[in-house]
Structure 1
Amino acid sequence: ALAAGASLINDQWGLKHDPRLAELAAERGVPIILMSNQRDRGGYDGSIKRDTAYYTDVVAEVISSLRKSLKLALERGVPWENLILDPGIGFGKTWQQDLELIRRLEELKELGRPILVGPSRKSFIGLALGLPVEERLEATAAAVAIAIVKGADIVRVHDVQAMVRVCRLSDAVIRSAQGV
């Protein structure tokens, strides 16, 4: 993907399955997104049941998982400034745990790296509100705005134009209030 023009690496396994991705990121000098993902607890094929809670405290365990991924990346030469963290909303968590992650997202800021979230059209929205995927735009906008309020630095979305507006207004309210 880098040879085709990609400007970063997105590792949905947080270096658990292929730590060589960190070496590649270091060698190429590109950022790497490290996701916390326990989906493989149900099998590498992602067969975890969405209603199965594997976490005692989802936020604390995600922080611990991301801390391990950060350590691996740094040990393999990725510069600190090239590390981005993703709590893995929708990956190996129940919909209630996804909501808890968004609610407590600011706790991930203790790790000192930018936080990326990808709530767009996710199943937690459908399960919480009983909506099919094609009717999740407004709820995605709410999740994006709340994530920004709670400390998200980067969002991954499908409906770009609408979400750019949500992000700009959220940033205007939050960042200007913080003197940024």
Structure 2
Amino acid sequence: QTQLQVDGDVPGQALRFTVPETALPGDRLLLQKDPSGTWAVKVLVKEDIRRELQLAHLPSEPETAFQRLADAARALGAYVSPKLARRRVPPMGIAGIVAMEPVEAGEELVRMPEKLLLSAPACAEALPELFAAVQVASGLFEDRRLQSAHAACLAVLLRDAKDR
């Protein structure tokens, strides 16, 4: 159980209450005092947080997908070593990018131009309206506004890539 305390104008008259179990991040709590002086807590549901999501599973060959990504990056000025490939590595079979040949100390494996990085500034440039709207949205913690805008832009980019 989560307890909250609201301090009033009069010292020593704090209101302490239990947050309803149905409350989720983003919801607002409304405290109301009825005529008898009893306080009640209501949860004002933030609807967009409670939406159901349908996750897409797009079948693909991991090796082919990596090669297509590497080729696209190269076409835009990136360097991706031909020694790299996407494979599953024993004993656990975890997929990742691995070197298929020995790598020398100091050898460059990947160099990506700044314009291809999915950084917050790049997202702000690519989707300025969305980035700005999320940063001023109510209900966000002040120190999380930049990360929230960045995440929203990445979600749109992923959705658009899936739709291609």
TM-score bracket for this pair, using the shorter chain length: under 0.3
Whichever of the two has the greater Rg, that structure is 2
Q: Which has the higher strand share?
A: 2
What's the TM-score once normalised by structure 2's chain length? 0.23
Q: Which has the higher helix share?
A: 1
Q: Which has the bigger relative contact order, CA under 8 A and spacing at least 6?
A: 1
